[in-house]
Structure 1
Amino acid sequence: MKYQWRITKYNPLFRNEKGHYLLDEWTCPSEIGKIINGNLFTLEEYLFIEHAYVETIIEFLNEKRQYSLRLIQTSNRSISHEDKTSILYDNEFGMINIKEDLIVNINEIRLICKMILRNFADCQLYSKDNFFVHFGWDYYMYIGSNQKSLTAIEFAKKSGLYVEELSSPYYFEEKDTTRLVQWSEVGVEIPLVIGDEEIVNVPLEEYRKIFGLSEEHPVFGYFEITENYRDYFQLFLNHKMDFTKYEYGLWAGN
């Protein structure tokens, strides 16, 4: 992506030469109600900053006239009963079905970004060669675009955020991508990868067909391999696939 920014609540003046942030600040909404650097971190303070993040994303989209994005690298996280008791839970969160390859509009983007920032969802927002939004740990946000977006940058600054020209650590292209077939034991409460093999020279169109993805999906992330496709993937593996013992998936990243 031609232009990329790190947009956060963290003032870069307080970073050392290695880029480490030196002040003690809140990094997660779960800290609401705690004393941080001698001050009570309140819900109101949190919501003010969250609003700045979300509306900055919308300003970038509006300036670019980009009114929808695709969800990729989604997790299977579901809203639990405990989640619904949180002061940060909004009933609207239960009205949207976050799933891989889903195209979402501006209003849905607002809602999904709130869910991500409040740790109720995990995904990236993407438009091929045009735009992305990445969220990292500790309330870091990265935006990429194929245009400069000077108006949106000014909006972010006026909203109390800091904009730095910096590449997203979560951004990579097809040339940087590694794809592995991974396997873990069946029936384990917390599955751990116990083996993997890299596979190469498979056209993206084949992956999209197998996993039911759109032509625009970059095939980044994790995808379950069902037994229906054992014969196809076995062609690329030395490992003898055994679905009675193992669960299989394709992992694609860098």
Structure 2
Amino acid sequence: MPLPHVHRITKYDPRDRDARGRYTGPEDTDSDHGPVEAAYLSAVAAFAEESGVRRLSVREPEHAGRPVPPGFHDGAEVSLPAALELVRGMLRGSGGWCRLEREGTFFVHVGWDQYLYAGSHRPCPRALARTRELGLFPEPLAASPYAFGPADEACGPQRPADDTFWDRLAWLLTSGGDLVLEEYPVANACRRHRLTRATLDTVRAALAPRARLTVLRDERPLLTAVLPDSDGVLRARWRPEPAPEDARWAVLSTLHRGRIRRGTVTRIAPFGAFVDLGGLEGLIRIPEVSRRHVDHPGDVLEVGQEVTAKIIDVDRVRELVSLSLKALDADAGPVAPELRGDWLTSWVRGTAAELGERMTDFEATYGYPPAPNGIRPAAPDRDPAVALRLASHPAVAPDLATLYATVQEVSLPDIGNGYFIHSAEHVLRDLTAEGPVRPGPDPGDTAVVFGSDGGGILFALDGRGRVHRSRTASRDGAFEEYCAGIQEFLTRLRTAVAGGRPGEGA
């Protein structure tokens, strides 16, 4: 959280700056190791005292070419006198570097050339007066240039080195090959540890608090993490350079059992289909492809196809995600028992016979020949597979796939205003290009357009098996419920074929 009162404190008189703000006075840029340095420390102490601070936290410490002192790590708490000694070392450029902060209350940052920045949640008028008495110059700023800001955290979430992380390393060691762990207790200082199953726990116990970790295999970075605090919360703000597995973990961290995710089919194998979830592949095993029997996933899915699936398991150690299309079908409810293949077969035969009789005397009745009217049964060598592929789409109700397993297409331009049941390929193309329609005000309700009439009015089936009719010739307009389901729709259609006249509805 930014602090409202920030000052730059220097020994440089603002009157000795040129038009560009560069200092042109007599002061040099080194510490005098004497009264001026002591004045800086007294000013920091005055600001800390007026801010009510007695202890400060070390943040993002950096190495300065000397052995790292014990206890010098991110998050270490130091007393105000110890903090002033760290400030002294930074002013001299000899003791490493760090931010010193009390979150939401106070900070002190030391920059190059004896520039010091103090921030407080209070105005600190006494500290400002004391700083001027010491011969230093406090100047108000909007923020410290050394503040840890959003740009430092722009790389996305950081993996914590928690129990799951160490279980992941144990699994990687089991799967073959040694690993090397690079530990960065402070910036620019690295300790290397060779990992085996026997040494893993010992290495973990000896790591510095909040250390940055990089795991290497064959001397190449594999994954990174940062140690959380003892309560399991990751409070360190710094991060290692990203490694190849980090992007996969970032996706995995957003996935949870029971959630619905959309992805693209990338590979198909005899045992299932792999789906890219945005940098991490999930697997739809063949029993999870459909509630209907599937011999091969390729009968239902194809590479490049977009699918929406339910996450049924997430293995964070092996980084495996199991998906299901069948589970979404189950969520939508059971297949309507009244819509069966034998009923549809009977409907096709009966409606085709009545259509033939209707067309026999059509020209004699209306004075012009009929257009091609027909009901095309599904081709056994291709249409059932297309129907299964359609069924894999989460917006498609089971009844629609049942229909297309028996009926390929219906074209009745001379019945009423004309009635058309589009082919499964047509419906799939429409879903890919336009998506489902909304039959009602609830954004969660969707329906799939499967037919139309001669005036462009659309028929759509929702997830609960109900048929809706558009009020205008537009996918984006309002819909109204037309009938209870596909079977009722087809029954009405057969009635129209048997006795309807041009211009009459089904």
The bucket for the TM-score relative to the shorter chain is: 0.5 to 0.7
Contact 2:226 2:239 in 1 (8 A): no
CA distance in 1, matches of 2:135, 2:84: 19
Secondary structure of residue in 1 paired with 2:101: strand
Per-residue displacement from partner, 1:117-140 (whole Å, max 9, x unpaired)? 111221010111211111111110
Contact 1:4 1:168 in 2 (8 A): yes
Q: Does 1:178 align with 2:151?
A: no
Contact 2:110 2:116 in 1 (8 A): yes
* Matched AA of 2:101: Y
CA distance in 2, matches of 1:4, 1:214: 32
Secondary structure of residue in 1 paired with 2:34: helix
The within-5 A match list for 1:143-162 is 143-162=118-137
Contact 1:72 1:221 in 2 (8 A): no
* Matched AA of 1:3: H
- Within the candidate set 90, 96, 102, 1:127 is matched to 102
**Equivalent residue, structure 2, for 1:137:** 112
Q: Structure 1 stretches (4+) deviating beyond 3 angstroms?
A: 94-97, 172-177, 213-225, 230-234, 236-239
- Within the candidate set 52, 68, 73, 1:65 is matched to 52
1:210 deviates by 3.9
* Matched AA of 2:29: T
Root mean square deviation, CA, Å? 3.7
Per-residue displacement from partner, 1:49-100 (whole Å, max 9, x unpaired)? 11111111111111122111111110133536xxxxxxxxxxxxx9764211
Q: 1:217 to 1:162 in 2, by over 3 A?
A: farther
CA distance in 2, matches of 1:233, 1:66: 40
**Equivalent residue, structure 2, for 1:87:** none
Percent identical pairs in the alignment equals 24
Q: 1:213 to 1:27 in 2, by over 3 A?
A: farther
Contact 2:74 2:236 in 1 (8 A): no
Secondary structure of residue in 1 paired with 2:49: helix
Q: 1:214 to 1:130 in 2, by over 3 A?
A: farther
Contact 2:61 2:73 in 1 (8 A): yes
**Equivalent residue, structure 2, for 1:235:** 249
CA distance in 2, matches of 1:79, 1:176: 26
CA distance in 2, matches of 1:211, 1:122: 21
Q: 1:217 to 1:141 in 2, by over 3 A?
A: farther
CA distance in 1, matches of 2:238, 2:104: 18
Contact 1:73 1:222 in 2 (8 A): no
1:155 deviates by 0.8
Contact 1:101 1:217 in 2 (8 A): no
1:19 deviates by 1.3
Secondary structure of residue in 2 paired with 1:123: strand
1:28 deviates by 2.1
The within-5 A match list for 1:202-213 is 210-213=226-229
Q: Does 1:220 align with 2:194?
A: no
CA distance in 2, matches of 1:172, 1:224: 17
Q: Does 1:26 align with 2:28?
A: yes
Task: Give structure 2 stretches of 5+ with no counterpart.
Answer: 158-180, 183-187, 189-211, 213-224, 252-277, 280-506
- Within the candidate set 39, 52, 66, 2:39 is matched to 52
Count matched residues.
Answer: 187
CA distance in 1, matches of 2:85, 2:33: 16
Contact 1:61 1:67 in 2 (8 A): yes
CA distance in 2, matches of 1:180, 1:24: 46
